[in-house]
Copies of this chain bind each other. A is one copy, B any other.
């Protein structure tokens, strides 16, 4: 495969172009992830063969199809336990979980909940396009209340989830919200997440022009992208209380939590080593 683009060395270029619709934000996110990884690999803080991806099912989870790393495209909602299984038995792996808002926050809700509670040593990147893309535009737990989706034709009656608050309340070591409309910042967040122990959670606002855009009247990729960009509010070190997730008040992006409690893997190893010490 001839290398053209600087990220081609990290891509399965024979699978390009991607399956994503034109102008889908997910490709932008993938670029940010790969550039962040590139920085880490170049600076020597990560070894390439120790990077693994895992994703469930959805347009976002299909991100696992393209990186030229160990990668698992598993079942809807279950990438986190898959990744944790890898991580526990091979702690040297840096496992990156990528998934959509449905994959991670709806069906996978219990796993993200407990992964964060455990402060499991994973990087979890949730692409939030506020919709179910893969299945054709149904309501997601992130869909702002009132908006039209195909399963809420009279408007979404549900309150949307602010997953930043959840992640913070459960004690993740790193909690950030980025947006594909703000790529240098997003890349920096992922770079940082890759360096953390414990659970690093990055919610990424992304665009689904094909469905979400169409639902809300912004049909072209550029229209939706610029609409989202308008509604994004960048804050430096905002508090969790400031983490507005709202169609009206805007979506605050930034780093909400950055702490350094021991991760699950090291505590597990410490306790497990007691067994080897003969205790118990």
A-side residues, CB < 8 A to B, are 106-107, 109-110, 113-114, 117-119, 141, 145, 152-162, 165-166, 168-171, 264, 267-268, 270-272, 274-275, 279-280
In the complex, A128 Cα to B254 Cα: how many Å?
Answer: 35
Contact present for A109 and B118 (CB under 8 Å): no
Known contacts A110-B113, A169-B169; 10 further A-B pairs (Cβ under 8 A): A109-B113, A118-B158, A145-B267, A154-B271, A157-B267, A157-B270, A158-B267, A161-B170, A165-B169, A165-B170
Contact present for B118 and A154 (CB under 8 Å): no
Contact present for A114 and B109 (CB under 8 Å): yes
Contact present for A141 and B117 (CB under 8 Å): yes
Chain B residue contacts of A145, Cβ below 8 A: 267
- State the copy count for this chain: 2
Chain B residue contacts of A274, Cβ below 8 A: 154-155
Chain B residue contacts of A141, Cβ below 8 A: 114, 117
Partner of A117, one of B153, B158, B267: B158
Q: 30 A-B residue contacts at CB 8 Å? A: A106-B114, A109-B110, A109-B113, A109-B114, A110-B113, A113-B113, A113-B166, A114-B141, A117-B159, A117-B161, A118-B158, A118-B159, A145-B267, A152-B271, A153-B275, A154-B271, A154-B272, A154-B275, A154-B279, A155-B274, A156-B271, A157-B268, A157-B270, A157-B272, A159-B171, A161-B170, A166-B166, A166-B170, A168-B169, A169-B169
Residue of B whose beta carbon sits closest to that of A279: B154
Quick one: which of A141, A158, A264 has the most chain B CB within 10 A? A158
Shortest C-beta distance, A78 to chain B (Å), equals 12
Shortest C-beta distance, A188 to chain B (Å), equals 25
Residue of B whose beta carbon sits closest to that of A274: B154
Shortest C-beta distance, A260 to chain B (Å), equals 14
Would you list the 7 A-B pairs with minimal beta carbon distance, nearest first? A169-B169, A110-B110, A109-B110, A157-B271, A165-B169, A154-B274, A154-B280
Contacts A166-B169, A169-B165; is A158 near B113 (CB within 8 Å)? no
Chain B residue contacts of A114, Cβ below 8 A: 106, 109, 141
Shortest C-beta distance, A241 to chain B (Å), equals 10
In the complex, A153 Cα to B160 Cα: how many Å?
Answer: 40
Chain B residue contacts of A154, Cβ below 8 A: 271-272, 274-275, 279-280
Shortest C-beta distance, A224 to chain B (Å), equals 23
Shortest C-beta distance, A279 to chain B (Å), equals 6
In the complex, A18 Cα to B271 Cα: how many Å?
Answer: 38
